[in-house]
Protein backbone atom coordinates (compact mmCIF):
# COMPACT_ATOMS: atom_id res chain seq x y z
CA UNK A 1 0.00 0.00 0.00
CA UNK A 2 2.99 2.33 0.22
CA UNK A 3 6.41 2.83 -1.33
CA UNK A 4 9.41 3.56 0.88
CA UNK A 5 10.66 7.18 0.87
CA UNK A 6 7.75 8.33 -1.28
CA UNK A 7 4.40 10.03 -0.70
CA UNK A 8 2.91 8.14 -3.66
CA UNK A 9 0.55 5.38 -2.58
CA UNK A 10 -1.06 2.42 -4.30
CA UNK A 11 -4.43 0.81 -3.60
CA UNK A 12 -5.07 -2.87 -2.90
CA UNK A 13 -6.92 -4.67 -5.72
CA UNK A 14 -10.57 -5.58 -5.28
CA UNK A 15 -11.10 -9.10 -4.00
CA UNK A 16 -13.52 -11.65 -5.48
CA UNK A 17 -15.40 -13.32 -2.63
CA UNK A 18 -17.79 -16.26 -3.17
CA UNK A 19 -20.98 -15.53 -1.25
CA UNK A 20 -21.81 -17.42 1.93
CA UNK A 21 -24.71 -19.79 1.28
CA UNK A 22 -24.96 -20.78 4.91
CA UNK A 23 -24.95 -24.27 6.43
CA UNK A 24 -27.33 -26.33 8.55
CA UNK A 25 -27.57 -25.26 12.16
CA UNK A 26 -25.02 -27.30 14.14
CA UNK A 27 -25.94 -27.11 17.83
CA UNK A 28 -22.95 -29.26 18.84
CA UNK A 29 -20.68 -26.70 17.20
CA UNK A 30 -22.51 -23.84 18.93
CA UNK A 31 -22.40 -25.45 22.38
CA UNK A 32 -18.67 -26.15 22.02
CA UNK A 33 -17.88 -22.44 21.62
CA UNK A 34 -16.39 -20.86 24.74
CA UNK A 35 -14.77 -17.51 25.51
CA UNK A 36 -12.01 -16.97 28.06
CA UNK A 37 -12.86 -13.40 29.02
CA UNK A 38 -9.71 -12.63 31.00
CA UNK A 39 -7.44 -13.94 28.20
CA UNK A 40 -9.41 -12.04 25.56
CA UNK A 41 -9.17 -8.81 27.53
CA UNK A 42 -5.42 -9.28 28.07
CA UNK A 43 -4.92 -9.82 24.34
CA UNK A 44 -7.02 -6.76 23.55
CA UNK A 45 -4.88 -4.50 25.73
CA UNK A 46 -1.77 -5.36 23.69
CA UNK A 47 -3.20 -4.78 20.22
CA UNK A 48 -2.44 -1.07 19.93
CA UNK A 49 1.17 -1.54 21.07
CA UNK A 50 2.00 -4.55 18.89
CA UNK A 51 2.39 -2.53 15.69
CA UNK A 52 3.81 0.95 15.11
CA UNK A 53 2.71 2.23 11.70
CA UNK A 54 4.53 5.38 10.63
CA UNK A 55 4.85 7.85 7.76
CA UNK A 56 3.92 6.57 4.28
CA UNK A 57 2.74 3.24 5.67
CA UNK A 58 0.38 4.96 8.07
CA UNK A 59 -0.98 7.12 5.24
CA UNK A 60 -1.58 4.03 3.10
CA UNK A 61 -3.42 2.26 5.91
CA UNK A 62 -5.57 5.34 6.52
CA UNK A 63 -6.53 5.50 2.85
CA UNK A 64 -7.53 1.86 3.09
CA UNK A 65 -9.64 2.70 6.15
CA UNK A 66 -11.49 5.29 4.04
CA UNK A 67 -12.13 2.70 1.33
CA UNK A 68 -13.56 0.37 4.00
CA UNK A 69 -15.94 2.95 5.46
CA UNK A 70 -19.73 2.86 5.41
CA UNK A 71 -20.49 6.58 5.33
CA UNK A 72 -23.64 6.76 7.42
CA UNK A 73 -26.45 9.09 8.42
CA UNK A 74 -29.13 7.59 10.66
CA UNK A 75 -30.69 10.57 12.41
CA UNK A 76 -34.28 11.53 12.94
CA UNK A 77 -33.60 14.89 11.30
CA UNK A 78 -32.10 13.47 8.08
CA UNK A 79 -33.08 15.43 4.99
CA UNK A 80 -32.73 14.86 1.26
CA UNK A 81 -30.13 17.62 1.16
CA UNK A 82 -28.04 15.99 3.88
CA UNK A 83 -28.09 12.63 2.09
CA UNK A 84 -27.10 14.26 -1.21
CA UNK A 85 -24.14 15.96 0.46
CA UNK A 86 -23.15 12.69 2.11
CA UNK A 87 -23.20 10.92 -1.26
CA UNK A 88 -21.03 13.64 -2.78
CA UNK A 89 -18.57 13.14 0.07
CA UNK A 90 -18.70 9.36 -0.46
CA UNK A 91 -17.55 9.77 -4.07
CA UNK A 92 -14.74 12.14 -3.10
CA UNK A 93 -14.00 11.50 0.59
CA UNK A 94 -10.50 12.99 0.37
CA UNK A 95 -9.85 16.42 -1.12
CA UNK A 96 -8.33 16.61 -4.60
CA UNK A 97 -5.36 18.50 -3.15
CA UNK A 98 -4.55 15.57 -0.88
CA UNK A 99 -5.13 12.84 -3.45
CA UNK A 100 -2.92 14.68 -5.95
CA UNK A 101 -0.12 14.89 -3.39
CA UNK A 102 -0.55 11.21 -2.58
CA UNK A 103 -0.60 10.22 -6.25
CA UNK A 104 -4.04 8.61 -5.96
CA UNK A 105 -7.29 8.81 -7.87
CA UNK A 106 -10.70 7.20 -7.58
CA UNK A 107 -10.62 6.93 -3.79
CA UNK A 108 -14.17 6.30 -2.56
CA UNK A 109 -15.86 4.81 0.45
CA UNK A 110 -17.21 1.28 0.80
CA UNK A 111 -20.91 2.19 0.94
CA UNK A 112 -23.44 4.82 1.99
CA UNK A 113 -25.82 3.68 4.74
CA UNK A 114 -29.23 5.33 5.24
CA UNK A 115 -32.77 4.69 6.42
CA UNK A 116 -35.29 3.29 3.92
CA UNK A 117 -36.85 6.67 3.10
CA UNK A 118 -33.51 7.94 1.80
CA UNK A 119 -32.60 4.97 -0.42
CA UNK A 120 -34.00 6.49 -3.61
CA UNK A 121 -32.09 9.73 -3.05
CA UNK A 122 -28.84 7.90 -2.33
CA UNK A 123 -29.19 5.57 -5.31
CA UNK A 124 -29.85 8.48 -7.68
CA UNK A 125 -26.76 10.35 -6.45
CA UNK A 126 -24.47 7.31 -6.53
CA UNK A 127 -25.48 5.82 -9.90
CA UNK A 128 -22.36 5.02 -11.90
CA UNK A 129 -20.01 5.49 -8.94
CA UNK A 130 -19.78 1.83 -7.99
CA UNK A 131 -20.66 2.72 -4.39
CA UNK A 132 -23.44 0.50 -2.99
CA UNK A 133 -26.32 1.84 -0.94
CA UNK A 134 -26.88 0.06 2.37
CA UNK A 135 -30.13 0.35 4.31
CA UNK A 136 -30.78 -0.42 7.96
CA UNK A 137 -33.79 -2.65 8.35
CA UNK A 138 -35.82 -5.10 10.50
CA UNK A 139 -37.03 -2.55 13.03
CA UNK A 140 -33.62 -0.91 13.47
CA UNK A 141 -32.28 -0.32 16.10
CA UNK A 142 -34.33 -2.43 18.56
CA UNK A 143 -35.56 -5.13 16.16
CA UNK A 144 -38.80 -5.61 18.08
CA UNK A 145 -41.42 -5.14 15.38
CA UNK A 146 -43.39 -8.22 14.21
CA UNK A 147 -41.38 -10.64 12.07
CA UNK A 148 -43.59 -10.27 8.94
CA UNK A 149 -43.08 -6.49 9.07
CA UNK A 150 -39.33 -6.87 9.44
CA UNK A 151 -39.20 -9.17 6.43
CA UNK A 152 -41.40 -6.79 4.41
CA UNK A 153 -39.09 -3.91 5.36
CA UNK A 154 -36.14 -5.77 3.82
CA UNK A 155 -38.11 -6.46 0.64
CA UNK A 156 -39.12 -2.80 0.33
CA UNK A 157 -35.52 -1.65 0.75
CA UNK A 158 -34.21 -4.13 -1.81
CA UNK A 159 -36.89 -3.10 -4.32
CA UNK A 160 -35.95 0.55 -3.73
CA UNK A 161 -32.37 -0.16 -4.80
CA UNK A 162 -30.43 -1.05 -1.65
CA UNK A 163 -27.78 -3.66 -2.45
CA UNK A 164 -26.74 -4.16 1.19
CA UNK A 165 -29.11 -4.63 4.12
CA UNK A 166 -28.00 -4.11 7.73
CA UNK A 167 -30.42 -6.15 9.85
CA UNK A 168 -30.70 -6.36 13.64
CA UNK A 169 -31.21 -9.66 15.39
CA UNK A 170 -33.64 -10.35 18.24
CA UNK A 171 -31.33 -10.13 21.24
CA UNK A 172 -33.75 -12.20 23.33
CA UNK A 173 -32.91 -15.28 21.26
CA UNK A 174 -29.27 -14.96 22.33
CA UNK A 175 -30.02 -14.15 25.97
CA UNK A 176 -32.28 -17.21 26.25
CA UNK A 177 -29.91 -19.41 24.19
CA UNK A 178 -32.68 -20.02 21.65
CA UNK A 179 -30.32 -20.72 18.77
CA UNK A 180 -32.92 -22.40 16.56
CA UNK A 181 -35.14 -19.31 16.50
CA UNK A 182 -32.14 -17.03 15.89
CA UNK A 183 -31.03 -19.23 12.98
CA UNK A 184 -34.53 -19.31 11.47
CA UNK A 185 -34.90 -15.54 11.86
CA UNK A 186 -31.62 -14.69 10.14
CA UNK A 187 -32.30 -17.32 7.48
CA UNK A 188 -35.63 -15.65 6.68
CA UNK A 189 -33.89 -12.27 6.48
CA UNK A 190 -31.25 -13.74 4.16
CA UNK A 191 -33.97 -15.09 1.86
CA UNK A 192 -35.75 -11.72 1.80
CA UNK A 193 -32.49 -9.97 0.84
CA UNK A 194 -32.18 -11.98 -2.38
CA UNK A 195 -29.05 -10.79 -4.17
CA UNK A 196 -28.50 -7.96 -1.67
CA UNK A 197 -25.79 -8.70 0.88
CA UNK A 198 -26.90 -9.07 4.49
CA UNK A 199 -24.96 -7.59 7.39
CA UNK A 200 -26.23 -8.95 10.72
CA UNK A 201 -25.98 -6.54 13.65
CA UNK A 202 -25.53 -8.41 16.92
CA UNK A 203 -25.84 -5.39 19.27
CA UNK A 204 -23.01 -6.92 21.26
CA UNK A 205 -23.34 -4.42 24.11
CA UNK A 206 -26.69 -6.01 24.94
CA UNK A 207 -25.70 -9.70 24.73
CA UNK A 208 -24.29 -10.01 28.24
CA UNK A 209 -21.14 -12.11 27.70
CA UNK A 210 -18.38 -12.65 25.18
CA UNK A 211 -19.46 -16.29 24.92
CA UNK A 212 -22.89 -15.12 23.80
CA UNK A 213 -21.21 -12.88 21.22
CA UNK A 214 -19.16 -15.80 19.89
CA UNK A 215 -22.12 -18.17 19.69
CA UNK A 216 -24.42 -15.59 18.11
CA UNK A 217 -21.72 -14.84 15.52
CA UNK A 218 -21.49 -18.51 14.59
CA UNK A 219 -25.27 -18.98 14.31
CA UNK A 220 -25.68 -15.88 12.12
CA UNK A 221 -22.95 -17.11 9.78
CA UNK A 222 -24.51 -20.57 9.62
CA UNK A 223 -27.78 -18.85 8.62
CA UNK A 224 -26.08 -17.14 5.68
CA UNK A 225 -24.81 -13.77 6.90
CA UNK A 226 -22.38 -12.06 4.52
CA UNK A 227 -21.09 -9.79 7.31
CA UNK A 228 -21.38 -9.78 11.07
CA UNK A 229 -21.49 -6.34 12.67
CA UNK A 230 -21.01 -5.30 16.29
CA UNK A 231 -23.59 -2.63 16.93
CA UNK A 232 -26.27 -0.27 15.72
CA UNK A 233 -24.33 2.67 17.15
CA UNK A 234 -27.34 3.41 19.35
CA UNK A 235 -26.43 1.16 22.30
CA UNK A 236 -24.58 2.46 25.39
CA UNK A 237 -21.64 0.15 24.52
CA UNK A 238 -20.75 -0.34 20.85
CA UNK A 239 -17.61 -1.68 19.15
CA UNK A 240 -14.80 -2.74 21.50
CA UNK A 241 -11.54 -4.57 20.91
CA UNK A 242 -12.45 -7.63 23.02
CA UNK A 243 -15.73 -8.04 21.14
CA UNK A 244 -13.92 -7.56 17.83
CA UNK A 245 -11.36 -10.20 18.73
CA UNK A 246 -14.13 -12.68 19.55
CA UNK A 247 -16.05 -11.99 16.34
CA UNK A 248 -12.96 -12.18 14.14
CA UNK A 249 -11.99 -15.53 15.61
CA UNK A 250 -15.53 -16.76 14.99
CA UNK A 251 -15.12 -15.68 11.37
CA UNK A 252 -11.79 -17.49 11.15
CA UNK A 253 -13.27 -20.71 12.56
CA UNK A 254 -16.25 -20.53 10.20
CA UNK A 255 -13.91 -20.08 7.24
CA UNK A 256 -11.77 -23.04 8.34
CA UNK A 257 -14.84 -25.29 8.65
CA UNK A 258 -16.87 -24.17 5.62
CA UNK A 259 -14.51 -22.36 3.24
CA UNK A 260 -16.66 -19.22 3.24
CA UNK A 261 -15.10 -15.83 4.02
CA UNK A 262 -17.40 -13.64 6.11
CA UNK A 263 -16.99 -9.89 6.45
CA UNK A 264 -16.64 -7.95 9.70
CA UNK A 265 -17.98 -4.50 10.57
CA UNK A 266 -17.23 -2.71 13.85
CA UNK A 267 -19.64 0.20 14.37
CA UNK A 268 -20.08 2.91 16.94
CA UNK A 269 -17.45 4.77 18.95
CA UNK A 270 -14.64 4.63 16.37
CA UNK A 271 -13.85 8.27 15.66
CA UNK A 272 -10.06 8.62 15.65
CA UNK A 273 -7.54 7.66 12.97
CA UNK A 274 -5.38 5.85 15.54
CA UNK A 275 -8.38 3.67 16.42
CA UNK A 276 -8.82 2.78 12.75
CA UNK A 277 -5.16 1.70 12.59
CA UNK A 278 -5.65 -0.50 15.65
CA UNK A 279 -8.68 -2.24 14.13
CA UNK A 280 -6.91 -2.74 10.79
CA UNK A 281 -3.92 -4.21 12.61
CA UNK A 282 -6.19 -6.63 14.43
CA UNK A 283 -7.83 -7.67 11.15
CA UNK A 284 -4.42 -8.31 9.58
CA UNK A 285 -3.21 -10.38 12.55
CA UNK A 286 -6.39 -12.42 13.08
CA UNK A 287 -7.78 -12.84 9.56
CA UNK A 288 -5.06 -11.92 7.08
CA UNK A 289 -4.46 -9.41 4.32
CA UNK A 290 -7.45 -10.40 2.17
CA UNK A 291 -9.80 -9.08 4.86
CA UNK A 292 -8.21 -5.63 4.50
CA UNK A 293 -10.64 -4.75 1.72
CA UNK A 294 -14.18 -3.31 1.58
CA UNK A 295 -15.48 -6.70 0.43
CA UNK A 296 -14.67 -8.17 3.84
CA UNK A 297 -14.21 -5.26 6.23
CA UNK A 298 -16.15 -2.05 6.91
CA UNK A 299 -16.07 0.69 9.49
CA UNK A 300 -19.49 1.95 10.55
CA UNK A 301 -18.22 5.35 11.65
CA UNK A 302 -18.72 8.51 9.61
CA UNK A 303 -17.08 10.86 12.12
CA UNK A 304 -13.86 8.89 11.61
CA UNK A 305 -13.39 10.37 8.14
CA UNK A 306 -12.69 13.91 9.35
CA UNK A 307 -9.85 12.83 11.63
CA UNK A 308 -8.33 10.67 8.90
CA UNK A 309 -8.34 13.65 6.54
CA UNK A 310 -6.53 15.73 9.19
CA UNK A 311 -3.87 13.03 9.61
CA UNK A 312 -3.35 12.77 5.86
CA UNK A 313 -2.98 16.53 5.58
CA UNK A 314 -0.37 16.45 8.32
CA UNK A 315 1.46 13.70 6.44
CA UNK A 316 1.58 15.75 3.21
CA UNK A 317 2.15 19.23 4.69
CA UNK A 318 3.55 18.71 8.19
CA UNK A 319 0.71 20.82 9.63
CA UNK A 320 -2.58 19.81 11.26
CA UNK A 321 -5.62 21.53 9.78
CA UNK A 322 -8.68 22.74 11.65
CA UNK A 323 -11.48 20.17 11.87
CA UNK A 324 -13.99 22.52 10.21
CA UNK A 325 -12.00 22.20 6.97
CA UNK A 326 -13.11 18.58 6.69
CA UNK A 327 -16.88 18.81 6.84
CA UNK A 328 -19.03 15.83 5.86
CA UNK A 329 -20.74 17.74 3.10
The residues assigned a catalytic role are 166, 229, 265
- Contact residues for 296 (Cβ-Cβ < 8 A; gap 6+): 15, 17, 261, 262, 263, 264, 287, 290
Residues in a beta bridge with 229: 201, 265
Residue 111 vs residues 11, 24, 35, 132, 288: alpha-carbon distances, Å: 17, 30, 32, 5, 22
Would the CA dihedral through 212, 214, 217, 222 be positive or negative? negative
Would the CA dihedral through 237, 185, 159, 260 be positive or negative? positive
Amino acid sequence: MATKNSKKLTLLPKAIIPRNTGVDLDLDWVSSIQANTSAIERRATTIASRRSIKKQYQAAWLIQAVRCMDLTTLSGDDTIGRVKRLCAKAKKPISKTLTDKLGLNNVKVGAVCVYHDMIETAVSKLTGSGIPVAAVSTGFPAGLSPLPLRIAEIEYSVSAGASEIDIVISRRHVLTQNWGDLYDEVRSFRKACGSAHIKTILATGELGTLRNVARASAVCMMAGADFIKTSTGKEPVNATLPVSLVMMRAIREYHEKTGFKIGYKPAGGISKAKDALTYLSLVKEELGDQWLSPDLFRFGASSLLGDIERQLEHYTTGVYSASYRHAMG
